[in-house]
Structure 1
Amino acid sequence: MKSKNKTLLLFMLVFAFINLNGQSHKIDSLRIQLSKSNNDSTSSNLLIEIGKAFEMVNPDSSIVFYNNALLIANKNNDEKIQAIAKRHIGNWHIDKREYDLALDNLHQALKIALGIDNKFEIGRIYNSIGLVYNNLNVFDKAIEYSNMAVDIAAEVNDSITLSYSYNNIGLAYYNRSIYDEALKYFLLSAKIDELNGDIKGLGQGYINVGLIHYTLGNTDQAIYYYEQSIKIAEELGEVIDISIGYNNIAIIYKQLEQYDKALVYLEKALAIDKGLGDKGGMAICYINIGDVYLKIGDFNRARRYFMQSLKIWDEIHDDSGTATVLYYLADLNISLAKKESHNVEVRDSLLYAAIEYSEKSLEIGKRRDYLPAQNSAAESLKTIYALLGNYEKAFEYLEIYVSTKEKIINEEKIRSITDSELKWEAERRQLQIEKLETEREIDKLELIRKKQETKQQRAVIIMVSAGLLIISVLLFVLQNRLLYTKKQNQVIDLQKKVLEDNYVRLNEKTEEIQAQNEEIEAQNYEIQAQRDVAIQQKEFIERQNQAITNSINYAKRIQQALLPDLSLLDEKYNGLDSITDSFVLFQPKEIVSGDFYWANRINNHLIIAVADCTGHGVPGGFMSMLGISFLNEIVNKQENYIANEILNQLRDIVNITLTQAGRKDEDDNPILDGINIVIAVIDIEKMELQYSGSFNPLYLVRNNTLSILKTDRTTIGVFVKNKGSFTNYNIKLEKGDTFYMFSDGYIDQFDESGSQRYKYSRFKNLLLSIQNESLQKQKEILYSTFEKWKGNNDQIDDITVLGFRI
Structure 2
Amino acid sequence: MKRLFLYRIFFFLLFFIFPFFSIAQQTKVDSLLLFLKTAPDDTVKVNTLNALCREYRNISSFGPALYYAQQAKALAEKIQILGEKAKGWPKGIANSLANMGIISFNHGNFKVAADFHFQALKIREKIGDKIGIGNSCNSIALSYSNLGDIEKALEYHFKSLKIMEEIGNKNGIGNSYNNIGLLYYDEGNYDQALKYLYKALKIGEELNERLYMSGRYNNIGIVYEQQGRLSNKTMANDKFQKALAYHLKSLNIQEELGDTQGKGGSYNNIALIYFDLGKIALNKDVSKKYYKNSLENYLKALLIAKEINDQDLMCNTSINIANVYLESNKLEEAHDYLNQTLKLAKEIGKKSRVQEAYFSLSELFERKHDYKQALEYHKLYTNLKDTLLNETSSKQIAEMNTKYDTERKDKELIQKDAEIIKQQAESEKQQTQRNAFIIGFGLVLVLAFFIFRGYRQKKEANAMLETKNEAISKQNKEIEKKNTVITDSIEYAKNIQSSILPTEEELKKHFQNYFILYKPKDIVSGDFYWINEQENNLLFAVADCTGHGVPGAFMSLMGHNLLREIVSRKNNFNPSEILDELNLKVLKTLKQDSKNTSAKYGMDIALISMDKKRNRIEFAGAHNPLYIIRNKECIQLKAEARSIGSFPREDKKGFMNQSFQLQKGDMLYLFSDGYTDQKGGPDGKKLFSKPFRELLQDLCELNVSEQHWQLDTNIINWQGNKKQTDDILVVGIRM
**Normalized against structure 2, the TM-score is what?**
0.43
Over alpha carbons, which structure has the higher Rg? 1
TM-score with structure 1 setting the length: 0.40
The structure carrying a bigger helix percent of its residues is 1
